Amino acid sequence: MTRILLFIVSLTALSRVVSAAQENVNIKIRNESGHRVILNWVHPQTKETVVMREMEPDPQRQFIINSFVHHKFQLWQAPDEETGSCGGDEDDGTDGDQTCKTSFFQVTQPEEQAFVITKDFHVETDIPPPAPNPVDNIDLSNLEDPTVVLEKCKNQAAKRLETGNNYEAVMKEYHICTTTRLTPAIKYINDEVRFERDIRIDASVNAENFTCTDPNIETSPDVRTEEWTSSVDQITRTAHIKLDRPTSRIHVIENFASIDECNAMEEEAQDSLSVASTADGKGGTTISLGRKAMQAAIRPKFSTDGEPLEGDLISQLSGRVYEYTNHVLGLGITPFGQEPLMSIQYFGRGYNDTEPDRYTPHCDGKCVGQKHIDGARMATMVIYCTIPEKGGFTNFQNANVHVKPSQGSAIFFSYIDPSTNMTDDGLTQHSGCPVYDGEKKIITQWVRYGVSSDVPHSAFNTLNVLKSNDGE
């Protein structure tokens, strides 16, 4: 009787506190303590405890109550109904402890929360085990040759049709036969591919150091060679295709920039060169030894409809980058909202320099095979204006593509599949090898997809989060 009264009192008290428009939360409590448990609500002002429920030691049942953020509860081990004490029984050696154990927990987050009362009467957040992935439970001990499976399933279906079985039923059986028996083989192949890929990427880390420091390694062979004619200057240029995958392409284009265009860029850059920086993983930029170089940003001018300006060498060069990007990817990229051209200079201080100018392996965008993020980089053009005497090659370590550039040539690489927006998963990771002797001067244009005059590149931080959504 008293218990019921208390319960009613507790509900009334609860609803009074609750009316202050707090967030309603469902909490689940699982009792693994092996004891009967009494759940008390702790009044936030008076600290009085009010009994809410008694729980029997039944680990199967979950107890769900409706609560609110910041509410605090006390769990009290209920005394044995016969002895009236909380002493353990003599069999499990806990008989010395006569005190009833207590524990507290507080509702901390607005989502549903789950707690578990452990054997030693602690309350812990109950993290449910992840839902089993059916693919993980596929039995790989019984692999069948996929071609044999298809043949068997086909013959079985043909026989069943010949003996007058219902077409739809036979097709259903055929479907089950192929899918269930092919799944292990597909999983096995996927596991193998992942394993081989991990080994290849580990090995490429070592290979990058050797490849980068060996001046005698030649440019990798072409997969294909193409001619490309710019519709603006009508010049035909040769493109050496080094890698041609839907999400990952590497092209080396001969004579992409003229000496005059390079000189115009260098002149423009001279006064504003500063130490190069990289994305710091937190949305900003930082200066690191992994990227030693000087750089200057140059913003090319375009006509109001996005055409390169006649007689403006920098504008012409920048326009050619977008023209080539559109030639390869067909995404209709315009100069509006894009990043400026970047003039980057590396200086050689000899083989013994322990911190040579270089850019250690990195990706220009994200390269973990995810979907393109609106406004992110998806292609890069690196134009080689001055070639150093020793070093300074460009190495794509995971694609096994090495490029010893020539003056005026450019490397174009893209890291998006234009038909699906899926991005590269590591093949366009590259490094600017250390420069040992002489100067290396390049012009880089990063090309973004999803920017415009209204939402330009500068609206994003380096994690590609729109700054207006970024709390800045």
Ligand X SMILES: *[C@@H]1O[C@H](CO)[C@@H](O)[C@H](O)[C@H]1NC(C)=O
Q: Which residue ranges make up the site for ligand X (CB under 6 A)?
A: 205-206, 209, 350-352, 372, 374, 421, 449-450
Do the beta carbons of residue 137 and residue 49 sit within 8 Å? no
Helix or strand (DSSP H, E) at 450: none
Q: Measured from the CB atom, is 181 or 292 closer to ligand X?
A: 292
**DSSP three-state, residue 445:** strand
Do the Cβ atoms of 271 and 324 come closer than 8 Å?
Answer: no
Q: What is the dihedral of CA 258, 259, 264, 266, to 10 degrees?
A: 120
Q: Which is nearer to ligand X, 314 or 433 (CB)?
A: 433
Residue 374: CB minimum distance to ligand X, A: 4
β-strand partners of 438: none
- Of 190 and 206, nearer to ligand X (C-beta) is 206
| Residue 301: CB atoms within 10 Å | 11
Toward ligand X, which CB reaches closer, 256 or 396?
A: 396
The whole-angstrom separation of Cα 264 and Cα 262 is 5
β-bridge partners, 65: 27
CB of 351 to ligand X, least distance (A): 6
Q: How far is the CB of 352 from ligand X (least distance, A)?
A: 4
Least CB distance to ligand X at residue 246 (A): 14
Give 195 or 351: the residue with its C-beta nearer to ligand X: 351
Write the CB contacts of 439 (distance below 8 Å, at least 6 apart in sequence).
Answer: 345, 346, 347, 348, 386, 388
> Smallest distance, Å, CB 198 to ligand X?
16
- Compare residues 77 and 338 and give the one whose CB is closer to ligand X: 338
- What are residue 28's phi and psi, to 5 degrees? -115, 135
Q: How far is CA 280 from the centre of its chain?
A: 15
Amino acid 31 reads N
State how far the Cα of 453 lies from the Cα of 271, in Å rounded to an integer: 27
Cβ at position 170, least distance to ligand X in Å: 38
Report yes or no: 384 and 408 within 8 Å, Cβ to Cβ: yes
Which residue is associated with the tokens 């990195």? 362
Closest distance of CB 322 from ligand X, Å? 15
Q: In angstroms, how far apart are the furthest CA atoms of the chain?
A: 100
Q: Which is nearer to ligand X, 276 or 376 (CB)?
A: 376
Smallest separation (angstroms) from ligand X to the CB of 319:
21
Return the residue nearest ligand X (CB atom).
450
Tokens representing 385 are 């204006």
- φ, ψ of residue 446 in degrees (nearest 5): -90, 130
